[in-house]
Amino acid sequence: MRPQAGAFALECSKGCSYCCHNMVTASAPEIFLLARHFRKTDPSRRQDVLEKLKAADLAGRDHDPRQRYLAHIACGLLDENGLCGAYESRPNVCRTMVSASVAACRASFAGEPAQIPVPKPYGALRTAYSYTLLAALQAEGLDDRLYELNQALCIALETGDAEQRWLSGEDIFAGIRHERVDAGEQPQIALFLSVLAAGAENSPLPANPWIAG
């Protein structure tokens, strides 16, 4: 990223929050990182965050991602000034969601057809990080699902030992909207993740059915 920093100009700026109205999914470790962030704040602040998260969850739970975006339902972590309440602990998808055209973002937010230009290095970084994390979770036999952020973070904050229970194998996020790589529907991605996991553990690599011999 550093060598290419001057190769493209981002138009993102502090307080610009169009993308913060998308439905965000995050892995359990990313959710627990956010929970740790808010546990360091005073109880009244934490309660305010919980109320906003619950309101955002309730407003968007019955919407698909597109409907939610067009309804302008903000992330529960967004404050009245368009700033993230946990910026330094935000999930990977938020860190790599950038735009080279605020006009395109504004048009998309208004429901107009618009292609938001995202410099390729950011997309590549997002994919590389996400796949590496998913492979690590699979290698450890841990839950590799991506959960809707508002509802999952509420559970992580309201359950005192949520992280330890998750590490022990308990499905503390049961029933929450989630995504995961389905080996039946995305066999090449599933194979790639298993190769990453095997390589990290210095284990035999799985066979590739798309390579003859």
The DSSP line for 30-55 is HHHHHHHHHHTS-HHHHHHHHHHHHH
Rounded-to-integer distance, Cα 189 and Cα 14, Å: 35
| pLDDT for the residue numbered 184 | 77
Helices (H) and strands (E) in the chain, counts: 9, 3
Q: What is the pTM of this model?
A: 0.89
Q: What's the confidence (pLDDT) of residue 6?
A: 63
Q: Which residues share a beta bridge with 148?
A: 25
Choose between 3 and 129: higher pLDDT. 129
The mean pLDDT of 137-159, rounded to a whole number, is: 94
Helix, strand, coil % in the chain, rounded to nearest 5? 50, 5, 45
Tens digit of each residue's pLDDT (9 = 90 or more) over 3-61: 666 667 889 999 999 999 999 999 999 999 999 999 998 899 999 999 999 999 999 99
Q: pLDDT digit string (tens) for 84-114?
A: 999 999 999 999 899 999 999 999 999 999 9
Question: What does the block give as tokens for 55?
Answer: 């309101």
Model confidence at 182, in pLDDT bands (50, 70, 90)?
confident
Percentage of residues in the chain having pLDDT higher than 70: 96
Please name which of 89, 52, 99, 100 lies closest in space to residue 73, comparing C-alpha atoms: 52
Residue 72 — left, alpha, or beta (φ > 0 → left; ψ -120 to 50 → alpha)?
A: left
